[in-house]
Homo-oligomer: A and B are copies of this chain.
Amino acid sequence: MASRRTQTLEPESQEQAYLQIGEVAERTGVTQRTLRFYEERGLLKPPSRLDGGFRLYSEDDVRRVEQIKRLQSLLGFTLAEIKEMVEADEVKMQIRASYRKDAAISERRAKLLRAQEVTAGQMTVIEQKLAALQDMKANLAEKLGHYDSWLESLAEQERAQRA
């Protein structure tokens, strides 16, 4: 029996521990198909590969998958919308990378302003959803209050009946 699964695939020295697709699938709760699909759609950057072609994911990739799942299942964003957010994050990373390096100040400021704009847009979307949710929560709380009082009046009727 050749039960493979080198788990974290030997951190070569003190480098990152890379994960194969099966591990990532297990840890994130999505299928391997889904991971390849996200890659196809540009939600995950093409991971590095083993010589044989096996995908090697980083812990960052795992975190991104978890982020995608949250955005999708909890908040109902489409993959297209999530891709936009992810790309915005990429832009931010690039800005961070090219921070001290080349480039005129005005150019860097332009990029920062752009990133700020994108983030602000995401913020308004989220605030809209927050408002809607708080509205719904209030409605439900009201209903629960009604149920409580109805139940109490029922209990009262029972006591009256027993007397």
Contact = CB atoms under 8 A, between A and B. Distances in A.
Contact of A126 (B76, B113, B126, B137): B137
Contact of A143 (B73, B92, B129, B147): B92
Majority SS at the chain A contact face: helix
B133 A129 contact: yes
Interface stretch (A13-21, A31-39, A56-64, A150-158): A150-158
A94 interface: no
Nearest to A92: B143
A25 B120 CA distance: 32
Nearest to A130: B133
B129 A75 contact: yes
The 9 closest A-B pairs by CB, nearest first: A76-B76, A116-B147, A74-B132, A123-B140, A130-B133, A109-B154, A126-B137, A119-B143, A74-B129
